[in-house]
Amino acid sequence: MSTSVDLQNLYTSLNLEIAAVARYQDHQNKTSDPLILALLQGLMRNENGHERDLIKLIDRYKGDPKVAETFPGPTLEQMIFTGDQIFGQKTNLAMLRADFEFESEAVKIYSGFAAQASDEQVKELFLELARAERGHVNGLRSLIKGIEEKTHETAFFCPVCGWTVSFGANPTPGAESRCRMCGVQFSLTMTDGDFGLVRK
């Protein structure tokens, strides 16, 4: 493979990582679950690191990272509402399922780019990216499984003090819990398939 193919694949990959960062930022704004938020923040930090690594190699080729913005972006869904709906977790599950598909596709893309690479450093980067995205897939799969099997703890950040208010696994609307730090009592509500939090 020629150096130009490596550079084109680096541009495509940078475009993919930019999209991943935007995806995880958007999804952080859509959840109030502390565990899911922590996962999304971790994924976004990791994708930011991938961006930096890709830009370094693009610079080495005397390329222009801004060219990546002209490449077609990924077309995978931001939310996937198909499949079993889990009581109170509609939006969280739709995000996680979509992110799982996104990361699974990234593994395939980076593995393919590694096989095409003519430069050993480029090949190593693509192999490392594939490993990282495979880790993302495994983390997302584990969280999805917990929600689907109703073992995932339903929790929110306390709107009074910022601590975590937990309702345990598989609660029902009307369930109550008290924040262990500030002592304020809350109950669960349900709106359009999603749990919400209301102060008592």
Given a cut of 60, whether residue 90 has pLDDT beyond it is: yes
Over residues 34-50, the mean pLDDT reads 97
In this structure, the number of other CB atoms found within 10 A of the CB of residue 196 comes to 15
- Which of residues 72 and 184 earns the better pLDDT score? 184
Q: State whether 106 and 191 are in the same domain.
A: no
Of 48, 42, 49, whose CA–CA distance to 22 is shortest?
Answer: 48
CA dihedral (164, 168, 174, 178) in degrees, to 10, reads -40
> How many domains does one find in the chain?
2
Decide which of 148, 170, 189 is a domain's last residue.
148
Decide which of 106, 126, 148 is a domain's last residue.
148
Over residues 148-161, the mean pLDDT reads 96
Q: State whether 172 and 128 are in the same domain.
A: no
- pLDDT digits 0-9 by tens, 2-25: 468 999 999 999 999 999 999 999
Q: Which single residue is written with the structure tokens 């694949």?
A: 9
Q: State whether 29 and 59 are in the same domain.
A: yes
pLDDT at 136: 98
Domain of 188 in residue numbering reads as 153-199
Q: State whether 121 and 176 are in the same domain.
A: no
In terms of DSSP bridges, do strands 194-199 and 185-191 run parallel, antiparallel, or are they unpaired? antiparallel
Decide which of 148, 167, 188 is a domain's last residue.
148
Q: What percent of the chain has pLDDT over 70?
A: 98
- Which of residues 42 and 3 earns the better pLDDT score? 42
User: What's 70's DSSP letter?
Assistant: G
SS3 135: helix
Q: State whether 169 and 122 are in the same domain.
A: no
Q: State whether 13 and 75 are in the same domain.
A: yes
Q: Which single residue is written with the structure tokens 């599950």?
A: 93
pLDDT at 3: 60
Average pLDDT score over the chain = 95
